[in-house]
Structure 1
Amino acid sequence: MQFARLLHLVDSAIPTGSFAYSYGLESSLTFGLVSTPFALRNYLYSYLQQVGSAELPFINSCFRLAALSEGLQPVAEEYDAQLLVPALYKASAVQGRNWLKLLALFYPDGQMEAISQWFEARNIPPHFTLVFALGLQRAGCSLPELQAMYLHMLLRDQLSAAIRLGFLGPLEGHRLQHDFYTVFDHILAAQAGKEYGEATRSAFVLDAVQALHEDIYSKLFQN
């Protein structure tokens, strides 16, 4: 039953708002950073490597501090300070609030409202990465389960954006997603045991392209 619930939570129909965003892929295509299938593979690998080095250490720390102790505040403040692209900052908070609302409906005994209240009391946005880990820990997920879920969701959203932008066909996109699951073990092993103080950003060109998203004349996605 737990496995079935996890499948539901990673379903693309779950309304967290993630499908409204391309997280830099549309601007990468527009400005020529990605122009071939090979370049897309390189982009996805860099994207996932940065997710691993910059996001998974925060997930690890939040999972360990799920009791909402005061030790969580520096984690939340540090993550908030590291989101430098305004559009991504806003998207993270919107998706985090939507995620907590969904989990409160699915797991009424999990006291998900306490997570929202904790962030509100400290005037810190409930960023998606943080509340993703905090909420799923309360829902009974193990750390390896939610780490794999997180990587899957972000990879799926990127390839869905590539398909909707017309860069890939559906069959090709899903084959690429299947191929990239082999990268997950390497990413997870590289970040095993790391805490938020060891988080690093590694794809600076991607960060720059995300910031340029607002300069696109005509857009299909938000950033």
Structure 2
Amino acid sequence: MHFARLLHLVDSALPTGAFAYSYGLESSLALGLVRDDAGLRNYLYAYLQQAGRLELPFLNSCFALGPALGDELRELAADYDAQLLVPALHRASAVQGRTWLKLLASFYPEAGITALRQWFAAQELPPHFTLVFALGLQRAGFALPELQAMLLHLLLRDQLSAAIRLGLLGPLEGHRLQHDFYAVFEHILAQEGGREYGEAARSAFVLEMAQVLHNDLYSRLFQN
């Protein structure tokens, strides 16, 4: 039952808003950085490596703090906020985080999720998704290895969903590619699974350049 609840929380049907953003894939396609299947695989690998080196250390440190809401979390949250230099990604992360906390509070009313929402509001800090994903699920009783794997799963799934909507590949191809990339998780977790947020780093600079230009592109994600 515990594992089934976790599967529900990362189900694509859960309305967290992740489907609305391509996180650089659409702009990479428009700029010619992704041209074919090989380019898509390279893009996904770079994207997941970046997530492992930047997102996982923050997730690990949030989990280690436990239920504490104090100066250490304030410093961590401010550092993460400063890392998100692309306005579109900053907004997307904050929107997803607020939605996630609202949903989690309704599922686990005794886990202190409402207090977590109130703390971020009082500190005037955005509840970025990676942070509240870890903080919320830690309070709900899930283990760190589960959170690490599921965060990578969410990131990969949302990228492939965007690729399907953009017409880069079909649904069957997308699911087969997702299956193949689960093997990459083991490599990323072996390298980055024990890092703390002071060791977080960026590695996909070309991807970040594409993300910066996203707002200037004509969006095709929701066109038929």
Q: Flag whether TM exceeds 0.5 (same fold).
A: yes
Specify whether residues 105 and 12 from structure 1 end up closer, same or farther in structure 2 by C-alpha distance, changes over 3 A only.
same
Aligned to 2:159: 158
Q: Does 1:172 align with 2:173?
A: yes
Alignment root-mean-square deviation, CA:
0.9
Aligned to 2:32: 32
Q: What is the number of residues matched between the two proteins?
A: 221
The one-letter code sitting in structure 1 at the alignment partner of 2:76 is V
Q: Taking structure 1 as the reference length, what is the TM-score of the superposition?
A: 0.97
Segments of 5+ residues of structure 2 without an aligned counterpart are none
Deviates more, 1:186-195 or 1:128-137: 186-195
How far is the alpha carbon of 1:66 from its aligned partner?
A: 2.6
The one-letter code sitting in structure 2 at the alignment partner of 1:205 is V
Aligned to 2:64: 64
Q: Distance in 2 between matches of 1:218 and 1:151?
A: 25
Q: Distance in 2 between matches of 1:85 and 1:60?
A: 23
Aligned to 2:144: 143
How far is the alpha carbon of 1:118 from its aligned partner?
A: 1.1
Aligned to 2:205: 204
Segments of 5+ residues of structure 1 without an aligned counterpart are none
Q: Taking structure 2 as the reference length, what is the TM-score of the superposition?
A: 0.97
Q: Does 1:8 align with 2:8?
A: yes
Structure 1 segment 181-196 matched on structure 2, within 5 A: 181-196=182-197
Q: Does 1:47 align with 2:47?
A: yes
Partner of 2:79, secondary structure, is helix
The one-letter code sitting in structure 2 at the alignment partner of 1:37 is D
Aligned to 1:75: 76
Aligned to 1:134: 135
Aligned to 1:85: 86
Partner of 1:110, secondary structure, is coil
Partner of 2:66, secondary structure, is coil
Structure 1 segment 116-131 matched on structure 2, within 5 A: 116-131=117-132
The one-letter code sitting in structure 1 at the alignment partner of 2:59 is I
Deviation sequence 1:117-149 (CA, Å, 0-9, x none):
111111110000100000000010000001101
Partner of 2:71, secondary structure, is coil
Deviation sequence 1:10-41 (CA, Å, 0-9, x none):
11010010001100101111110000100100
